[in-house]
Amino acid sequence: MPPLPSGVCWRTVLARAHRARLSSGSRGASGDAGCAQDHPAVVGELRGELDRFGGVSVRLGALDRLDAAAFQRGLQAAIQQWRSEGRIAVWLHIPILQSRFIAPAASLGFCFHHAESDSSTLTLWLGEGPSRLPGYATHQVGVAGAVFDENTRKILVVQDRNKLKNMWKFPGGLSEPGEDIGDTAVREVFEETGIKSEFRSLLSIRQQHTNPGAFGKSDMYIICRLQPCSFTINFCQHECLRCEWMDLNDLVKTENTTPITSRVARLLLYGYREGFDKIDLTMEELPAVYTGLFYKLYHRKLPDKYKTMTLMD
Ligand SMILES: NC(=O)C1=CN([C@@H]2O[C@H](COP(=O)(O)OP(=O)(O)OC[C@H]3O[C@@H](n4cnc5c(N)ncnc54)[C@H](O)[C@@H]3O)[C@@H](O)[C@H]2O)C=CC1
Ligand SMILES: [Mg+2]
């Protein structure tokens, strides 16, 4: 097969496979042999774009009348073409309503890379040796808020309604896509307890693998220190059994709590007595160098003179 002229467009390859099939009079699994003739533009919807690593990314478009067998023949021819051009991988993005193309792609060696609510992405490694393609998301992120009132030494705690053991813990929940850690803590605290609060710092990170609550993936559980802005509890009946402002000393002493809550209660007590700068990882927003985006950086407070100095003795 001659090399494709530019842009690694494989619509021609698929169209050719279609024409060959139609002229031989064969019928697809659906029995709809005339699809490409009826809708030649359908084939033109298939596009492939080169990425910077030498892989090809294909987004399936409107292929409503294309049958799976024709798709498989076209894809097989395209794979041969990409191999001959030295492409290292193929990324195949399939809208959920085109999912009948998943099985033919899998029979040619494609595997799932990830799925979103409306599409799945499959990959095929064409390079030498084992695949170097990066995997998808490995962790879920849960964030809790340790809402501590320094004036009364009270800490906001809840008991989860859906747990087998009703132990005291900090209100919290899973981060939403694109949500900052502090914003998750403030949102979850408000949704579960009705208490308004402001982010102060990050206190701890717990990483746990093969977590049943994370569908067997890894779980990152982050606890933030929050400053309360309101005090009247109005807790969520679906998620919480109890909710109260508890003296921090009582939370440190109680056995009716999770090990991580107990540890962070002790950390808070240490910060309360000796200064929160001893325990706080504070946040600063900084500009990313290459993308023009911004990110949040969390670390122990760095004195201003260290932020600007260029030479250390
Ligand atoms: N050590 C601790 O103190 C604890 C830490 N965590 C961490 O907290 C984070 C998750 O927080 P959560 O409060 O559990 O999440 P969340 O507050 O985002 O959601 C919990 C609610 O989601 C709903 N839900 C969850 N799974 C469901 C299912 N399969 N079917 C129907 N409804 C379902 C239920 O209404 C449940 O009350 C994780 O990172 C986890 O590791 C969770 C429990 C205790
Ligand atoms: Mg929760």
Q: At 203, which helix (H) or strand (E)?
A: strand 197-208
Instruction: Return the ligand 1 atom nearest residue 192 CA.
Output: 17
Mean pLDDT estimate for the chain = 87
Residue 38: the pLDDT is 35
- pLDDT tens readout for residues 72-131: 988 998 999 999 999 999 999 999 999 999 999 999 999 999 999 999 999 999 999 999
Give yes or no for residue 28 CB within 6 A of ligand 1.
no
Residue 67: the pLDDT is 86
Q: What percent of the chain has pLDDT over 90?
A: 73
Q: Is the pLDDT of residue 296 over 60?
A: yes
Q: What is the mean pLDDT of residues 163-179?
A: 94
Measured in Å, residue 182 CA sits from the centre of ligand 2 at 15
Q: Is the pLDDT of residue 8 over 60?
A: no
Instruction: Using alpha carbons, list the distances in angstroms from residue 116 to 63, 89, 119.
Output: 20, 21, 5
Give yes or no for residue 206 CB within 6 A of ligand 1.
no
Ligand 1 atom 13 nearest Cα: 173
Are the C-beta atoms of residues 93 and 121 closer than 8 Å to each other? yes
Residue 6: the pLDDT is 43
Q: What percent of the chain has pLDDT over 70?
A: 83
Residue by residue, DSSP assigns 100-157 as GGHHHHHHTT-EEEEE-SSEEEEEEE-SSSS--------EEEEEEEEEEETTTTEEEE
Give yes or no for residue 219 CB within 6 A of ligand 1.
yes
Residue 313: the pLDDT is 57
Amino acid making up residue 276: F
Residue 32: the pLDDT is 33
DSSP letter at 175 equals P
Measured in Å, residue 307 CA sits from the centre of ligand 1 at 39
Q: Is the pLDDT of residue 196 over 50?
A: yes
- pLDDT tens readout for residues 11-68: 555 555 545 444 443 333 232 333 344 333 334 445 689 999 999 999 987 776 788 8
Residue 23: the pLDDT is 45
Instruction: Using alpha carbons, list the distances in angstroms from residue 236 to 171, 174, 184, 190, 203.
Output: 11, 16, 16, 9, 25
Q: With cut-offs at 50, 70 and 90, classify the pLDDT of residue 139.
A: very high
Q: How is the beta sheet containing 89-95 ordered, strand by strand?
A: 47-50, 55-59, 89-95, 119-125, 111-115
Residue 35: the pLDDT is 37
ipTM, two decimals, is 0.94
Residue 44: the pLDDT is 46
Q: What is the mean pLDDT of residues 224-244?
A: 97
Amino acid making up residue 76: Q
Residue 309: the pLDDT is 84
Residue ranges in the chain assigned as alpha helix (H): 11-23, 35-38, 40-44, 68-84, 102-107, 181-193, 248-253, 259-274, 304-308
